[in-house]
Amino acid sequence: MASDEVETCHLASARPEIVRRLTGMLRDWHLSMPPDTGEILGREASSAAEGIPPMHFETRRIFANARHTAYQHRTDVDPSAGRYRLDCSGLVALVLGAVAPTALE
């Protein structure tokens, strides 16, 4: 990422095997989780159980929680305050950290 800070390269289309592997890991993780994530996320959890991919589910959860957002290259996130200041790479890292932390290693 340091060599492409403005994210001009779309690597998913260039590396479909990695996308398939990570998607499989995310799906396996999601299927291992209990179906209910609590009162606030109950409706979203139901949607996830109906086939929404885990990364999409987590991204929707973050968007629903966001109260203050800003685009910046240094990630600064405080979910309890609903504050998300980050760029695209920061969002992807946040989502992956929640659904597939080993993918960030």
| Model pLDDT for residues 13-66, shown as the tens digit of each residue | 788 888 888 888 887 787 777 655 544 444 445 455 556 778 888 888 898 889
| Model pLDDT for residues 65-95, shown as the tens digit of each residue | 899 999 999 999 999 999 999 999 999 999 9
| Model pLDDT for residues 61-70, shown as the tens digit of each residue | 898 889 999 9
Whole-angstrom Cα Rg for the chain: 15
Alpha carbon distance 44, 50 (integer Å): 10
pTM, 2 dp:
0.52
Report which of 60, 49, 2, 1 is spatially closest to residue 27, judged by C-alpha positions: 49
Beta strands in 1-105 (DSSP E): 68-70, 76-78, 83-85
Q: Where are the domains of the chain?
A: 12-104
Structure tokens at 36: 């209910």
